[in-house]
Each structure stands twice: as C-alpha cells, then as structure tokens.
Amino acid sequence: MYSTLLSLHSLFRWLVLVILVYSIYRAFIGYTRNQPFSKTDNAFRHWTATVAHIQLMIGIVLYTQSPVVKYFWANTKTALLNLDLTFYGLIHIVLMLTAIVVLTIGSALAKRKPTDREKFKTMLVWFSIVLIILFIAIPWSFSPLSSRPYFRTF
C-alpha cells in the first residue's frame, strides 16, 4: 500500500500544479481584462482547493507510514543534522500544510468577495502565494533540500 500511495502522491502533484497554474492564469486574465467571474471560474476555484485537499490526505497517510519520517522522529537530534531527513520529517509537511491553509483561505475569501474583479484579484494573489510555497516544498530533482525524480514508480 505504501509504495502505491507514494506513486499516486508523486503523480497527483502534477494535477495539483496544473489546476493551480490554470486557475492563476484564469484569475490573471479575468482581473486584467475585467471579465465577469463565471461559473467556470468558480468551478476552477473550487476544484483547485478540492484536488489540493485530496493530495493532502494522501500525503498525511504517507507521512504516518513513511519509514523515513518514523526514523526522523525516533532519532530527531541526529536526524536534524541530515537535510534530507529534516526535509521529509519536518519541512515538507509544514510547508504543505501552510500551502493548503493559504489555498483554503484564498478560495474562501474569493468566493465571498462582492465584485468579480475582487474575486479574480483574491484568487490571483492567494493562489500565487500557494504556488511559490509548493515550488519550495516539492522535492524536485534540482532541489537543494531533497531530490526525487519527477515521476516515482515502484
């Protein structure tokens, strides 16, 4: 089960990134062109948060089952000296939880804004912040924090 979830989590990140980037794009276009906030825009706002929450649930299950994380918490003093262990034991989960909280707040605020322009602006700002956090928190193959392949298969 662990390896299957790890592969799913690795693949699902691409869906999260694609829908987030597309939502940011729609928000940018809507804001700059002063367009009406359509049902499609609202659906992308909603589905971006939903997909990210599904990814979070998979990630939390992985976190509780990960041998790396279990080792980190069992040997915290020495594990903190290893950036790779610290990344998975602490940095990744804290940044991802932060990203989900920021995304959820941004989505809720955008939903409640009175004007279409304010909805687009709110989505654009909050979702862009989330994208920055995600780029730091994802273990890209080029990341100085921890390196993993773009697609994990087992």
The 10s digit of each residue's pLDDT in 34-82 is 999 999 999 999 999 999 999 999 999 999 999 999 999 999 999 999 9
CATH number of 2-137: 1.20.120
- The pLDDT of residue 154 is 52
Residue 37 contacts residue 120 (beta carbons within 8 Å): yes
Confidence of residue 83 (pLDDT cuts 50, 70, 90): confident
Mapped onto helix, strand or coil, the DSSP state of residue 85 is helix
What integer pLDDT is reported at residue 3 of this predicted model?
A: 83
30 CB-near residues (< 8 Å, 6+ apart): 36, 37, 41, 116, 117, 119, 120
Of the candidates 68, 70, 97, the one whose C-alpha atom is nearest the C-alpha of residue 85 is 68
pLDDT at 114 over 90: yes
Alpha-carbon Rg for the chain, nearest whole angstrom, is 17
pTM score? 0.90
Q: What's the token pair of residue 2?
A: 């662990």
Q: What distance in Å separates the CA atoms of residue 140 and residue 134, rounded to the nearest whole number?
A: 11
